[in-house]
Chain A
Amino acid sequence: MKAIESFEVPAPPKVNYINAQYGLKSWLLTKDHKRIALLYLGSITFFFFIGGIYALMIRLELLTPQGDFLQSTTYNKVFTQHGIIMIFFFLIPSIPATLGNFLVPMMIGAKDLAFPRINLLSWYIYLLGGVITIYALLAGGVDTGWTFYTPYSTTFSNSYVVATGLGIFINGFSSILTGLNFIVTIHTMRAPGMTWFRMPLFLWSHYATSLIMILGTPVVAITILLLAFERLAQVGIFNPALGGDPVLFQHLFWFYSHPAVYIMILPSMGVISELIANFSRKNIFGYSFVAFSSLAIAVFGFLVWGHHLFVTTQSVYAGMIFSFLSFAVAIPSAIKVFNWTATLYKSSISYDTPMLYALGFIGLFTVGGMTGLFLASLGTDVHLSDTYFVVAHFHYIMVGGALMGYLGGLHYWWPKITGRMYPEGWGRFAALVIYVGFNLTFLPQFVAGYLGMPRRYHAYPPEFQVFNVLSTAGASILGLGMLVPAIYFVWSMRYGRHAEANPWHLPGLEWRTQSPPPTENFEVTPVVTWDAYEFAPREETEVVGKFGPEIERV
């Protein structure tokens, strides 16, 4: 009867990682990977809102063709800082530092990451980098573009290049330590029976991401350091007036920054693999293909950075090699999309909020990825480089891809992390609003860019205004849409329905412990005898074979 159906089960008074210890010190000096994940969640959300405010300022300025809202120098600082905050302080740490930190030990059946104190240190380093960068922003900002191209950044810019560079440099170590922790944990701390090919694909993608963090971040670290010293001492390895080559800076910078975009998308792809398989109640199609494609993206991603230098004095021959490889790197991503689609085929899909984000991801990431091919092709890149086409391309992947995966994952694992459910109706509503707002924001930018509107300009010819107005309208909807989860997530922590251990009824290891988990994750170290996405029951079934009935063991 209705009254009994709506009766809510109160939460049993169990000790979990949240209530195990109270007090600020127990949080700020914690070694528990789950608490550290929450610390990161708070800080990353903070930086996301700052980056969002800069985005709002950009879109307000671009409503009209004249530069009337901001001065050109201020506008330069606004788009620079939007990029720096969003890339280094939001996107790169987002999934690995929050969902990764929380789930990697749980998914392999371990009590914690290999180096819990280094995990905590990585958060403090992230904060230190963030504080220094915010200081630089408040003191006057930086106007070089997030790419810091020389010799403008070393010689001519009158902004806080060194301070910002220092903040980013320090932040890089946070990234390196997180990646290091994940690699060592996955190699040495898997529970008995958890072979590599029984691991959820979330772990494969985080492993691949960690490889990129380890191999790429140090190069941008030394590059920023050299840039800072060049600016301070006026020496010349990047300055043509002193015998240097600005393109060398670009080579060193993009050697990291291209793989960095794979740092931003691979964890999201790992989340999507989890969401697609679990919310269609079907084993992922082509598990090993998806697993190896993550590694392939990590490796191939290091071979394509020259496509950012097509319109520089880079040799055309090198350009041809980079162009070919840039086409090749699309293949593993496409393999993933095909496998996800094949998983969905003839499956039992439930359209919960996380699944809505996953489905949105597949479409939006495909658009973003395919528009990348126009940029990978030498001829068309000359036309499209430094236009809004590029801006739309990477926002489709970063927001339509990475952010959707992040939101989907947050919703999916929210009951595990907090022990509470978010309101499903509002969740679906927000997902749809975000999807519509996103497309309205960035689809017109493809057209505007193709028609020639340059990026990083605060004023533009009037024929582009209609696209900009549509884009700003979309951005407003997108912004409002993203406020909705912000509000109901906070609301749910106090008033949300209590979640049981396995609210979605799924086979993953993280669902076999209470919600929220105890500090040690599992009461007893699990012994794993099942595959990652085993939905079919393990029993003998009678199958009619070629020569008569046979028993097939599933």
Chain B
Amino acid sequence: MSEHIVPVRVYITIFLVLLVGTALTVAAAFIDFRLPYINTVVALTIATIKATFVVLYFMHVRYSSRLIWVIMAAALFWMAILFAFTFSDYLTRDWISIQR
């Protein structure tokens, strides 16, 4: 059997990291960073880190073939396409004004 068995202590460590991340993100929500979008960036960064740990260790991607890694990356890339191109519409609508 060529499966990799992840030791329990790794799972415990990741679990604690995730709990700490949750506490951090709740705490950060109440900090006034002056600029409103900083809260967004902090929250999304912490969420991404948490998700990455779940993917790498709980979902075993760290120990899986490159194909699985590519599949995950492709899904995220495609979400990014959806977001980027749609936002490129909404954010640039005001750039050109119709001559009346």
Contact = CB atoms under 8 A, between A and B. Distances in A.
- Contact between chain A and chain B defined by CB under 8 Å: yes
Interface string A278-311: 0000000000000000000000001101100100
Given A187-B67, A313-B93, A318 B78 contact: no
Interface residues of chain B: helix, strand, loop or mixed (majority): helix
Contacts of A309: 89
A26 B73 CA distance: 42
B85 A306 contact: yes
A255 B93 CA distance: 19
Nearest to B93: A315
B38 interface: no
A490 interface: no
A146 B40 CA distance: 38
A322 to B, nearest CB: 8
A497 interface: no
Given A247-B89, A315-B93, 9 more contacts: A187-B67, A251-B86, A255-B86, A303-B81, A315-B89, A315-B91, A316-B95, A317-B95, A322-B85
Nearest to B86: A251
A321 B96 contact: no
List the 10 shortest-distance A-B pairs measured between CB atoms, nearest first.
A318-B89, A317-B92, A315-B92, A315-B93, A318-B88, A315-B89, A251-B86, A314-B89, A215-B78, A316-B96
A316 B89 CA distance: 8
A322 B89 CA distance: 10
Interface residues of chain A: helix, strand, loop or mixed (majority): helix
Given A187-B67, A215-B78, A302-B78, A318 B85 contact: yes
Contact of A219 (B82, B88, B89, B91): B82
A316 B98 CA distance: 11
A314 B91 CA distance: 10
Interface of A: 187, 215, 219, 247-248, 251, 255, 302-303, 305-306, 309, 313-318, 321-322
Interface of B: 67, 74-75, 78, 81-82, 85-86, 88-93, 95-96
Nearest to B91: A315
12 contacts: A251-B86, A251-B89, A255-B86, A302-B78, A303-B81, A315-B91, A316-B95, A317-B92, A318-B85, A318-B88, A318-B89, A318-B92
Contacts of B86: 248, 251, 255
Give the most central of B67, B78, B85: most A CB within 10 Å: B85
B85 A315 contact: no
A352 B12 CA distance: 67
Nearest to A304: B85
A317 B78 CA distance: 21
B89 A306 contact: yes
B33 to A, nearest CB: 28
B96 A317 contact: yes
B67 A315 contact: no
A315 B81 contact: no
A542 to B, nearest CB: 45
B82 to A, nearest CB: 6
